[in-house]
Amino acid sequence: MKWGSWSFHKKVWAFLLTFTYGSILVSVLLVSYIYQEVYVGAEEERLLSLGRNLATQHTPGELNEDFIQRAEAHNDVSTTQIYVVQNPRELSACLPFEIDYQTFISEEERRQLLNGEYLVKMGYEERIDRNVLAVVTPLVEDRVLDGILYVYVPVSSIQEVFLPAVPVLVLLILVLFVILYLSGSRFTTYVTKPLTTMQLATKKIAAGDFSSRVPIHTGDELGQLGHSFNEMANALEIEDVRKQTFLSNVSHELRTPLSYVKGYSEVLLEDEQLREDQKEFVSIIHNESDRLSKLVNDLLDLAKIQGEQEVLSAEPTVLSALIDEAAASYLPSARKKGIEIITSNDESIIALIDPNRIKQVLHNLIQNSLHHCQSGDSIKCTLTLERANICKIMITDTGAGISKEALVHLGERFYRTDDARTRKYGGTGLGVAISKAIIEKHNGTIHYESELGKGTTVTICLPIVDEKDQPND
């Protein structure tokens, strides 16, 4: 899963967890560095200084007992241990002595000592049987190695240092995790809940519900964003009400003069004294007035459905009969165009609906399918039981289809997927919007799926009447 597709809630949690455990890792590495570089480094300098001081007390030649006793006297009063080595086998790295003899220095190290260099060794020493930090100081004169001072202090590995503290560290990490979980949950909820609420409200506004608002609990940037959102939603709602009122008023005002124009044009068309060109002009007037009348009626119908004045006359209805009736009314025009209409319905499904309004939806959808189909295409209407209390109506055609860009806007008032085609068949661009409003008024849903060149499928889900609530015959 890509980072960009994660929700904001997940991103906040990922950041908190990464920051916390990254901090723990950095702390462990920092402590390890301090132990290795600071503590061990300081001990190394101290051992070097001690070895040099003792080396200055050595007189060239064979090591005497007095020097050895003074050097090894430190062993009784300090954790720092000193070995004074003068054994030829150890100083010559075994050769020509026994190969298996354990020595403090190797042949390479012996060469460095002959050059007056100091050796620093850290790790496990077999002769001492433990981890040590050791400084080897040469007692050399004229490239003759009289002996060495093996000054060392026992050290523990970083794992041994932290091993006793592991239970405490585990407990601290668990406590930290609990604190992080509790505080992180509160923090992410505080940050993401207003954004999630705003996202849902935005979707409602995009769907045409301008009454959606977001609650404001804080005065910070999120609260200010919510306040701005509510102001925007309020402005949109006021503008939408104004627009609906304007369209309703205009539609009412246009209805009467349009009816006059349409009526007088019909009378003129019946006048036999008109010339052919005059009849043609009157026919255009009649057709356009008829189209405008349909637009006005659709506008009033949509305003009525979306407003509070629309009351559904719901009654238990056999849906299959409605679908068969709606499909049958388009059979003649479908046959004329060479289009096949097929129905496949579950006759047992009864829904509590307003039959006139649902019939209006079916007519709108089947008519749209006919307009987008050509000879050889087909339209199939099916009714099935989706769930225990939900039925599904599907109207599928094999016509021209709708582009993805246009599909997003279906249901918007006056939106037309094809202006030329819609004008040809007298469409107003309101049929889909009216259908959507009617279905939502029935507490149902309507969904469109389409692909250019492959056809369109409209799916309607409606609540049905429970069998125990159906009237007995």
pLDDT single digits (tens) 258-281: 888 888 888 888 887 888 888 888
Q: What percent of the chain has pLDDT over 70?
A: 84
99, pLDDT greater than 60? no
In this prediction, what percent of the chain has a pLDDT beyond 90? 15
- Report the pLDDT value the prediction gives residue 467, as an integer from 0 to 100: 53
In a domain, 180, yes or no: no
SS3 for the chain is CCHHHCCHHHHHHHHHHHHHHHHHHHHHHHHHHHHHHHHHHHHHHHHHHHHHHHHCCCCCCCCCHHHHHHHHHHHHCCCCEEEEECCHHHHCCCCCCCCCCCCCCCHHHHHHHHCCCCEEEEEEECCCCEEEEEEEEEEEECCEEEEEEEEEEECCCHHHHHHHHHHHHHHHHHHHHHHHHHHHHHHHHHHHHHHHHHHHHHHHHHCCCCCCCCCCCCCCHHHHHHHHHHHHHHHHHHHHHHHHHHHHHHHHHHHHHHHHHHHHHHHHHCCCCCCHHHHHHHHHHHHHHHHHHHHHHHHHHHHHHHCCCCCCCCEEEEHHHHHHHHHHCCHHHHHHHCCEEEEEECCCCEEEECHHHHHHHHHHHHHHHHHCCCCCCEEEEEEEEEECCEEEEEEEECCCCCCHHHHCCCCCCCCCCCHHHHHHCCCCCCHHHHHHHHHHHCCCEEEEEEECCCEEEEEEEEECCCHHHCCCC
Q: What is the mean pLDDT of residues 452-470?
A: 79
Q: Judge whether 197 and 71 are in contact, CB under 8 Å.
A: no
* 167 contacts: CB under 8 Å, gap ≥ 6: none
Structural domain including 60 reads 9-155
More confident residue, 431 or 417: 431
Residue 20 pLDDT greater than 60, yes or no: yes
Check residue 127 and give its pLDDT: 74
Picking from 76-80, 153-157, 189-193, which range would have the lowest pLDDT averaged per residue? 153-157
In terms of Cα–Cα distance, which of 193, 178, 254 is closest to 223? Answer: 193
For residue 342, the model assigns a pLDDT of: 92
* Domain contains 85: yes
Task: Find, among 193, 214, 187, 219, the residue nearest to 202 by Cα.
Answer: 214
Q: Could you say which of 101, 130, 155 is where a domain stops?
A: 155
pLDDT, one tens digit per residue, over 139-153 is 887 777 788 888 888
Q: How many residues does the chain have?
A: 473
pLDDT at 9 over 70: no
The residue among 130, 155, 180 that closes a domain is 155
pTM of the shown model:
0.51
Provide the number of structural domains found in the chain: 2
Mean pLDDT on 288-314 = 75
The stretch 114-119 carries a mean pLDDT of 84
Task: Name the pLDDT band for 159 (thresholds 50, 70, 90).
Answer: low
| 91-96 contact pairs (CB < 8 A, 24+) | 91/145, 91/147, 91/148
Predicted pLDDT of residue 471: 45
Name the residue with higher pLDDT: 86 or 119: 119
What pLDDT band is residue 97 in, cutting at 50, 70 and 90? Answer: very low
| pLDDT tens readout for residues 385-428 | 888 789 999 999 998 888 887 777 676 655 555 544 444 444 55
* Domain stops at, among 155, 174, 190: 155
Amino acid at 176: L
Mean pLDDT of 168-194: 78
In a domain, 141, yes or no: yes
- Per-residue confidence at 3, pLDDT binned at 50, 70, 90? low
**pLDDT given at position 160:** 59
Average pLDDT of the chain, as a whole number: 79
Mean pLDDT, residues 7-25 taken together: 75
Residue 378: pLDDT band (50, 70, 90) is very high
Evaluate if residue 311 carries a pLDDT over 80. Answer: no
229 within a domain of the structure (yes/no)? no
**Which DSSP state fits 414?**
T
Which CATH number characterizes residue 340's domain? Answer: 3.30.565.10
Alpha-helical runs (H) found in 207-220? none
- The pLDDT value recorded for residue 419 is 47
Residue 393 lies in a domain: yes
CATH number of the domain that residue 34 is part of: 3.30.450
What is the torsional sign of CA 463, 464, 465, 467? negative
For residue 161, is it within any domain? Answer: no
- Each residue's pLDDT tens digit, 319-344: 999 999 999 999 999 999 999 999 99
The more confident residue out of 190 and 351 is 351
